[in-house]
Structure 1
Amino acid sequence: MINCYVIGELSTVESLCAYISNYPVTELRGYSVHIPEHFDPVYHIRPDIVFIDSSLSAGNESWVDRIRQFSSVVLIAGDTHQAFEAFEYLAFDYMIKPVSLNRFVKCINKFELITQLAGSILASRKPEAMESFFIKTDSKGFKEVLIKCDQLIYIQALQNYVVLHMENDRRFSCHNSMKEMEDNLSGSSFSRIHKSFIINDSKITSIEGNTVTLNHAEEHKLLIGNTYRKAFFDKKNERMIKKVKQPNLLSFSRPASLVFCLGFLFGDILDASELLTFLLT
């Protein structure tokens, strides 16, 4: 879902909130009809897109710049002569008031396309997952053992050394810190879930509450620490099969519901205001 926030005049807020709430891939996270006195609500939400009315942005470049640090900005201009302001604010896109449904959809499609392209570029630069690594298993460092990642279940911190729990009940210990293990395994399929545990994500059998079970074994049931809980569940949620929000196009309490539906049918022929005029005559 694309999280959205709207800041603008009442008419702009009403139309955009309706579009956002009823479009399948967008979710309305909040709105304001005046310049925010403080940024705590927007900052904590960190929406993907913040729609800003140019009537409020004029002369207030500083707070627009601050929002742009954590969200993409779409400027809502009064006419085409104000469109250049979008470039001044380094906005992602701009739209002319009154915003039609078709123009809103084009903006969202553009955002999705650019986001996908950016994700593909980052994925292409992501280092390959580590398949194996060496550890020194004696205090003098004479003996080195090759650890294959697909056989490593989890790593446990014990006093001044760590224990690597392997499949087939094998264990190896080395005089490394958990921080060293975590740093060297970053970017691979391992997650720090506790100050004492780093697990192999591919060995997860189930997650229940604050515990995770590995390799179908009760003896490998580990606690998820509060410090690492959010990062772990955020990573897990990226692999969760999610339900698609179904739009309820007839949820408006005003004739806007019919306008919204007909906007899809008529395309660029009529915008929302023209359709409303057509229906009332």
Structure 2
Amino acid sequence: MQCPILIGQSGLNIGLHSFIFCALNMVTSLIIAESITVVKLSDFLKNFSLAASESTSEFGEGLRLLNTQKPSLVYVDICFVREHYAEIKEIKANSRLILISEDITDYVEFRWLVDDCLSKSASFEEFKRSLLDCLAYLCRIVVATSQEVSLDEYFIVKGGGKGGQDFKIKFTDILFIEAYGNYIKIHPISGKFKVVAATMKASEHMLPSEFFSRVHKSRIISHFRILSLKDDYVYLKNKEQTKILIGKFYRRSFFSKEDIGKIRKN
């Protein structure tokens, strides 16, 4: 099993422990840090019978592991963040990124880039608290994913234009949906968008509201791909870190959703 460490996420219902630890089999992680930091973090994880999938003190090797292992979470030392800015942006596009630093103010400086921060000087008790916070976050994601699959893994849409063919689109492949006249554009996580013969209103009914939200008259977003919320914008997790305006009319409904409220607090 592998486990990520996050700071500042939501609390945990202790009754969910058994389920969560089973769910952790789905999580892979990578530590890219100075040798002493790798040892300390790995030892903390072993106290919970957990272990990082891979670890290295060489950034080049870390990039190789990223490409071959495709971890869910990546822990990166502040020294590497400062020295390898361009590569870090690529990491951000494909994995959740946790900053490891001696100074918590570094998290403020790189808040736009990283998902969370772990202090190098954290005690084991502090580590345990952050671990429980992390498990609560993972539980929410795993439950959402399992519910989505049980509801309907795909939905069927009709291609735009004359003779448009029906085709399947997996919910988890969608980044966002955009209004396009009498049609819509479905933007996937990667690759070219698809023009579909449907309206925004019909799309809202087709998609499970637990995992998709209309945030603008011309945009529906996937909760699975939310990177961060800032001011009146939601940032989605893809290579370009897509930025989408949250319309005033949709703000209350969007922020009232439980999972969005937790993201907003962080």
TM-score, normalised with respect to structure 2 = 0.43
Larger relative contact order (C-alpha < 8 A, sep ≥ 6)?
Answer: 2
TM-score, normalised with respect to structure 1 = 0.41
Q: Could you say which structure has the larger radius of gyration?
A: 1
